[in-house]
Amino acid sequence: MKRPGYFGSVVEAVRTTAEGLSITLAQYFRRPTTVQYPDRTAVPVRESLPSRYRGFLEVDLATCTACKACERDCPIDVIRIDVEKRDEGRVMSRFDIDLGKCMYCGICVESCPVEVRAEGEAEPQKVIRFTREFEGATTAFPTLTFRFIKPGEAAPPYKPPKKAEAAELPPSPARGEIARRVRAEARVENPPAFAAALAQTLADRDESLPRLLAPEVLAARARELAAKVDGDFPSALVAEALARTDCEACGWPSCGDYARAIASGADAQTWKCLPGAAKATRDVALLVQLRRGASPERAAAAAADLVRMHHRADGSPKTALALPAPIASTSSSTGGGQ
Amino acid sequence: MSEIVIDRGDGDEVVLNMGPQHPSTHGVIRFVIRTDGEIMKEAIPDVGYLHRAIEHIAEKCTYEGFMPYTDRVDYVCAMTANHAWALAVEKLGALPVPERAEYLRVITDELNRISSHAIALGAMAMDLGATTPFMLILREREFVNELIEELCGARLTYNYHRVGGVGWDLPAGWRDKVLRWCDHFVPVIDEYQRLIAENALFVRRLANMAVITAEEAVGYGLVGPNLRASGVDFDVRRDLPYSVYPKLKFEVPVGRGAMGTVGDAWDRYAVRIDEWRQSVALVRQALDLVAGTPPEFLSTPKKLKPTGEAFARVEAARGQMSCYVVGDGGANAYRARFRTGSFNAMQIIRAKSRGLMVADLVALIASLDVVAPEIDR
Amino acid sequence: MRMRAAFALVLAAAACGGGDVAVQLPATRAPIRDARPTRLHAGETLTVEGRGGPFTAGATTQVILPGLRGFKGGPMILPARAVGPDRVLATYDSAVFRYTGSSVVEVEQRLPDGTTKRLSSDPRAPFAFELAPRDVATAALLAERALPSLPGWLVGALTLLLVAAIVSLPIPVLAGLIVTWERKISAAMQSRIGPNRVGPRGWLQWLADGVKLLLKEDVIPTAADARLFRAAPYLAFLGLFLTFIVLPFSRTLIVADLDVGVLFLVSVTSLVVVGILVGGWASNSKWSLLGGMRSAAQIISYELPASMALLTLVVTTGSLRTQAIVAAQGAAPWDWFLFRTPFTLVAFVIWFIAALAEGNRTPFDLPEAESELVAGFFTEYSGFRFSLYPLVEWVNLAVIGAVGTALFLGGWRVPFVTPEMMATSWLWDLLGFFVFALKDVAIIFLVIWIRWTLPRFRVDQMMSLCWRYAVPWSMACVLGTLAWVWLVPSGVDQAARIALFALVGVGGGAWFALRVRANARAYSDLVLNEKLGGGRP
């Protein structure tokens, strides 16, 4: 296309600029379309959402048959249902949905086999269904796990009536009531509960020497590893025992290199894994001993000695191992920076 | 993170790092720019910051369960990604799809195309300094979001299409709402053109800039509006038709070099504006035709454990999106592979950046409409 | 110290050739009946303006004030010149005089043919000098008289500080109000609401933002040049603040009506460039440096067309003083310099574009292009130092508006109110200030409006616009105005002004209003979610 000349471009510039200005001025006098959430809306936003809106999930346990279809079909594994056998029969002891991780895809809703008639809804709903609740902003992740069965309680599964008797769908509370209640409970009860659970997990993973080298633990581990050591000694087995962080504290460029060195005998110092600490030393020592043909008991004793020689009681190394200096760039990489 | 090696031969050269956080890379993309201050010698893209191993996740999920993940392959135009996966799995398992579902798929695809182009065009204007067109067109996109929210409950990651159909049927009154919105939107397109697309400053920034010839476009594997803007008349909906597109009448806009050269950045802008109009026409036609279909919208396969391999393509907003799936008889796919338009567009940025200014680089990236989720998956 | 004796020489009756001139003087100013010798300091001027006549241009003219005893006791005689058939301008550069109580003013002209024409004022009319503290030196002199015990230099310094405080304290408030207004305008143009929570309808948002920035950590990059980094914003602020000295906010509200007002204005705004360059350099960041370099190139290039556009006005008025330029305009739109000649109209457009470029406003905001350089030359700044650069930018809007108003839009001239009426009562003066503020605000709106409509230029396009369009066209404007003022007879000139106003002002405005209406009609409001509805401020 012929480009406008010297004067033509001036005329074009003036014309199109004036046109643009007239459009923005016309916009200036229109009413804005933004809505001021949360306090200056005509109705609460929750009520203005369409009925199919995919907000928080809720479960009406009164009608849940504990078929676990939703747990099975969830592509992201956010639903956790525990079914126990108690004196009164099968009961659900846990029905948690982690709504922080959930991607609100709706597959769980589609896979639920039980339909119910929820109050105020024209269409039949499912037992697990979306609500129009969406306000979950929080500073603590645990509050996003909705626990529909409180810890310690149990919910019996629903037994749907036979086909012949089923004239109507079972009733269900209005959508959102259960979610609101559970959300409020989660906000209050979850953080301390999860904090306690975390403390317990950390205690279980205690890696101090008394725990690592307790006779039963050590013997069990020795037997476990003995089953895996078989003739040829793949370095992968050793690598599994190491921390696998490639931190180079041991002096080798990667964990794989250190593992191969141990496996081939090139490096006899098997206690150098800094992040792995006493646990890595114990496991590697067990593997080396088992490789040499020692029995699990002999290997356990030798490993215990080695660990005590090189680690303190809390699991930290006796000789200070420092991380080496970062490798200077050999090539002029994306330097300059900003 | 990759190592980019540059030999510092030229003393006048300045190496700039743009990204991965930057106001105008479209997502987390990093560019290493070698420039002499204003004119670039090279802009090297560094991708991978948004890699989420979606294709690997496909091997861990069932075929149906993977559908929400396809939303995230291109979250700006999620419906077409859904469609690609549904098509591929249906081909793999030779599954039937009800006609009503096909029309619903087309309606939602085209609505999503409109909202995706709204983001592309608005972001391009904003990258060049004009914030108002972006805000105004986002207001229109809000309407589309509201419509789809009423249809399927979500505004961005829809999970609407299913293997074997779609997830929900039309709600009552939705058809009229969409038609009302179409009537409202067509004058907005004209206003948008007057506001920014034909603005002399805007045209001067884009005309004759980063011209991509037809040979280059085909050679670098560009697809979609980028390809068509360079003069290559190819559209998957018309030339390799799928779904009910053979029953619908629409034109395929091709770059004409109206303000400069064929294949310049302005052509890529204009082609998307013309595609808006075509999408509105398609939505209207599909809404008319869907009324006459029987009400079944989903035929769920009983047991989905297919074997074999299948390849399907759709015309997403950013061009052809292909999906290749291999089944080995299990409930999960053995391999899923998505090929997206933005990934190829990254290569041409490096080639075209020589001689451009830094400000032009921003315009080039925006004109190619690259989005990070599509590049990295 | 400037003493302005404002008087009007009014034609008494239909006069042949000479005729009497009558003097009507503002009577409300208390006359100075001070017989002590009063000194005009060196370098200052005493200006006498007279209207009446007919005066012959080109004749040797002098104004005689017998009521002032001048050098060596004789009547004070001032060299003067006729700047029109009905105007005489007399200046004097330093004098000592005494007031003797007489109220006679005489204008004597020696015509080229050798004859002398003498016009005398009516002795019965009162004649008063005004000595109002309109500038710092006058105020200092008054203060010196009032406090004779303090040394003169101290009084002068204190006065300077006081005036500086009075002028500079409102500047942050002004910046804050402008930025809040800009946010509300941009919001309205983008179908949003803008700030509306802090203060009544959001008008205290600037205060909250300012306090927040003050409380932020002061981060200086390790490798940055700390002294320059700290100093740079203040250099920019200095360049901006100095322009307030010559802005005529009303007939009497001007800090100092410098003789070189326009020149001072143009030269002092280029101090901002130093601040920007130093800021960009001292940040030790490539992006900042790029932004600083771009900005320097831009501002320095656009100094030229800006100055030349203002030169057209100087040429029309014959004076660099801002008050003189305002006084040379009238209150009606067709008397503004905007419509004075077609060349001044083009000069206004060029000056406006150049002012946008100097202020780093879109479409010339490459130095701070958010989408490219994060924030350009002030990327590394945070906290209070950061707030200074945008403060400079926003107050610059007010300065652009003030300069445009004063020089092109008639300044503080109010319709149906003459400057003499203004001299009588401070209420008229205040009205003049309000009119000035109104016009200033209109220009600010225009600048903001343009910012939120247009995309930005690229560096080379911006340079090309300057050197290929703005500079030659502004030169042409200067020449054209010169030719116009020289050649075009006054009747045609008057008719042309009104025609230009009708064509461009009224006609253009009407066309634009029609486009706005067409665009407003083309858009149909749509509400899909009736329950939520639309925006409610």
Record: contact A106-B153, CB cut-off 8 A: yes
Q: Are residues C186 and C313 in the same domain?
A: no
- C-alpha torsion sign, points C508, C513, C518, C520: positive
pLDDT at position C134 = 40
Range of the domain at C178: 173-215
pLDDT in tens, C370-409: 445 556 777 788 888 888 888 888 898 889 999 999 999 9
The pLDDT of B171-180, averaged and rounded, is 93
Percent helix, strand and coil across chain A, each to the nearest 5? 40, 10, 45
Which of C193, C469, C516 has the CB atom closest to A22's CB atom? C516
Mean predicted lDDT score pLDDT of chain C: 78
Residue A234 phi, psi dihedral angles, 5° rounding: -70, 140
pLDDT in tens, B311-327: 999 999 999 999 999 99
pLDDT in tens, A247-264: 878 888 888 888 888 888
DSSP-assigned letters across all residues of B165-206: EES-PPPTTHHHHHHHHHHHHHHHHHHHIIIIIT-HHHHHHH
User: Is the pLDDT confidence value at B21 over 50?
Assistant: yes
User: Is the pLDDT confidence value at C186 over 90?
Assistant: yes
pLDDT at position C131 = 33
pLDDT at position A165 = 62
- Max mean pLDDT among A233-237, C273-277, C479-483 falls in C479-483
Contacts with C288 from chain A: Cβ below 8 Å = none
* Beta-bridge mates of residue C21: C11
Interface A-C, measured as beta-carbon pairs within 8 A, has a size of 90
What's the gap in Å between the CA of C376 and the closest CA on chain B?
A: 12
Categorize the per-residue pLDDT at C533 as very low, low, confident or very high, splitting at 50, 70 and 90.
low
**Preceding omega of C54 cis (within 30 degrees of 0):** yes
What percentage of chain C has pLDDT greater than the value 90? 24
Instruction: Tell me which of C79, C106, C132 is where a domain ends.
Output: C132
Contacts with C520 from chain A: Cβ below 8 Å = 26, 29-30
For chain C, say whether A47 makes contact (Cβ under 8 Å).
Answer: yes
- Max mean pLDDT among B324-333, C132-141, C525-534 falls in B324-333
Instruction: Give the chain A residue nearest C468 (alpha carbons).
Output: A6
For chain C, say whether B176 makes contact (Cβ under 8 Å).
Answer: no
> Can you tell me the distance from the alpha carbon of C355 to that of C348, in angstroms, rounded to the nearest whole number?
10
The pLDDT of A2-17, averaged and rounded, is 84
> Can you tell me the distance from the alpha carbon of C535 to that of B79, in angstroms, rounded to the nearest whole number?
30
Instruction: Give the chain B residue nearest A333 (alpha carbons).
Output: B5
User: Is the pLDDT confidence value at B181 over 90?
Assistant: yes
b/e map of B251-290 (b: 16 or more CB within 10 Å)? ebbbbebebbbbbbbbbbbbbbbbbbbbbbbbbbbbbebb
pLDDT in tens, C35-50: 556 555 433 444 555 5
pLDDT at position B116 = 95
Three-state DSSP class for residue B237? helix
Which of C287, C512, C535 has the CB atom closest to A35's CB atom? C535
HSE value, Cβ hemisphere, 13 Å, CA-based, for C126: 11
Instruction: Give the chain C residue nearest B139 (alpha carbons).
Output: C191
Contacts with C192 from chain A: Cβ below 8 Å = 32-34
CATH number of residue C16's parent domain: 2.60.40
Mean predicted lDDT score pLDDT of chain B: 90
The total of other beta-carbon atoms located within 10 Å of residue C147's CB is: 13
Record: contact A23-B195, CB cut-off 8 A: yes
The pLDDT of B161-187, averaged and rounded, is 93
Contacts with C531 from chain A: Cβ below 8 Å = 42-43, 47-48
First CA to last CA across chain C, in angstroms?
53
How high is the ipTM of this complex? 0.89
Q: Are residues C178 and C164 in the same domain?
A: no
Chain C residues within 8 A (CB-CB) of chain B?
186, 189-192, 286-287, 290, 293, 362-363, 365-366, 369-372, 374, 452-461, 519, 522-524, 526, 528-529
What percentage of chain A has pLDDT greater than the value 90? 33
User: Is the pLDDT confidence value at C282 over 90?
Assistant: no
Categorize the per-residue pLDDT at C536 as very low, low, confident or very high, splitting at 50, 70 and 90.
very low
pLDDT at position C148 = 63
The pLDDT of A213-238, averaged and rounded, is 80
pLDDT in tens, C147-177: 666 676 787 788 888 888 887 788 889 899 9
Contacts with B192 from chain C: Cβ below 8 Å = none
Whether the model pTM is above 0.90: no
> Can you tell me the distance from the alpha carbon of C429 to that of C413, in angstroms, rounded to the nearest whole number?
10
pLDDT at position A271 = 83
Which of B199, B201, B257 has the CB atom closest to A1's CB atom? B257
For chain A, say whether C124 makes contact (Cβ under 8 Å).
Answer: no
What's the gap in Å between the CA of A146 and the closest CA on chain B?
A: 21
Q: Which two tokens stand for residue C122?
A: 């009516």
Categorize the per-residue pLDDT at C271 as very low, low, confident or very high, splitting at 50, 70 and 90.
confident
What percentage of chain B has pLDDT greater than the value 90? 69
C198-201: long-range contacts, CB 8 A cutoff, minimum separation 24: C201/C537
Which of C186, C372, C455 has the CB atom closest to B199's CB atom? C455
> Please, are residues A35 and A28 in contact by the beta-carbon 8 Å criterion?
no
Record: contact B128-C526, CB cut-off 8 A: no
Categorize the per-residue pLDDT at B202 as very low, low, confident or very high, splitting at 50, 70 and 90.
very high
pLDDT at position A129 = 94
pLDDT at position B251 = 93
Contacts with A4 from chain C: Cβ below 8 Å = none
b/e map of B28-41 (b: 16 or more CB within 10 Å)? bbbbbbbbebbebb
User: Is the pLDDT confidence value at C103 over 70?
Assistant: no
User: Is the pLDDT confidence value at C14 over 60?
Assistant: no
Least confident of A316-330, C46-60, C278-292, C361-375: A316-330
> In angstroms, what CA-CA distances link B162 with B77, B99, B105, B165, B314?
16, 14, 10, 5, 15
User: Is the pLDDT confidence value at B32 over 70?
Assistant: yes
pLDDT in tens, C55-82: 777 788 887 777 777 656 677 777 777 7
The pLDDT of C193-214, averaged and rounded, is 91
DSSP 8-class letter at C379:
T
Q: How is chain B split into domains, by residue range?
A: 54-376
Categorize the per-residue pLDDT at B259 as very low, low, confident or very high, splitting at 50, 70 and 90.
confident
What is the set of domains in chain A, with CATH numbers? 48-189 (3.30.70), 193-310 (no CATH)
pLDDT in tens, A83-124: 988 887 889 999 999 999 999 999 999 999 999 999 888 889
User: Is the pLDDT confidence value at C84 over 80?
Assistant: no
pLDDT at position A329 = 38
pLDDT at position C284 = 81
Q: Are residues C56 and C101 in the same domain?
A: yes
Least confident of B15-29, C218-232, C511-525: B15-29
> Please, are residues A80 and A93 in contact by the beta-carbon 8 Å criterion?
no
What's the gap in Å between the CA of A7 and the closest CA on chain C?
A: 10
Which of A24, A41, A338 has the CB atom closest to C449's CB atom? A24
Which of A33, A36, A45 has the CB atom closest to C191's CB atom? A33
The pLDDT of A211-229, averaged and rounded, is 83
Q: Are residues C410 and C496 in the same domain?
A: no
pLDDT in tens, B35-92: 876 788 888 999 989 999 999 999 999 999 999 999 999 999 999 999 999 999 999 9
Q: Are residues C68 and C192 in the same domain?
A: no
Q: Are residues C443 and C533 in the same domain?
A: no
> Please, are residues C497 and C339 in contact by the beta-carbon 8 Å criterion?
yes
Q: Are residues C371 and C334 in the same domain?
A: yes
Domain B54-376: homologous superfamily in CATH: Cytochrome-c3 Hydrogenase, chain B (1.10.645.10)
Q: Strand locations in B37-158, DSSP E?
A: 40-46
For chain C, say whether A39 makes contact (Cβ under 8 Å).
Answer: no
For chain A, say whether B190 makes contact (Cβ under 8 Å).
Answer: no
Which of A17, A27, A110 has the CB atom closest to B136's CB atom? A27
pLDDT at position A280 = 86
Q: Tally the domains of chain C.
A: 5
Longest Cα–Cα distance of chain B, Å, equals: 71
pLDDT at position B81 = 95
Q: Are residues C63 and C196 in the same domain?
A: no
Question: Which chains have 3+ CB pairs within 8 A of C?
Answer: A, B
pLDDT in tens, C491-529: 888 898 899 999 999 999 999 999 999 998 888 888 887
Which of A19, A130, A335 has the CB atom closest to B194's CB atom? A19
pLDDT at position C37 = 60
User: Is the pLDDT confidence value at C138 over 70?
Assistant: no
User: Is the pLDDT confidence value at C428 over 60?
Assistant: yes
Categorize the per-residue pLDDT at C143 as very low, low, confident or very high, splitting at 50, 70 and 90.
low
CA angle C213, C357, C371 (to 5 degrees): 55
Inter-helix orientation angle C170-189/C426-451, to 10°: 50
> Please, are residues B9 and A331 in contact by the beta-carbon 8 Å criterion?
no
For chain C, say whether A334 makes contact (Cβ under 8 Å).
Answer: no
First CA to last CA across chain B, in angstroms?
16
> Can you tell me the distance from the alpha carbon of A149 to that of A172, in angstroms, rounded to the nearest whole number?
17
> Can you tell me the distance from the alpha carbon of C247 to that of C236, in angstroms, rounded to the nearest whole number?
18
For chain A, say whether B39 makes contact (Cβ under 8 Å).
Answer: no
**Preceding omega of A210 cis (within 30 degrees of 0):** no
Mutation target among A48, A126, A334 for the B interface, most CBs of B within 10 A: A334
What's the gap in Å between the CA of A44 and the closest CA on chain C?
A: 8
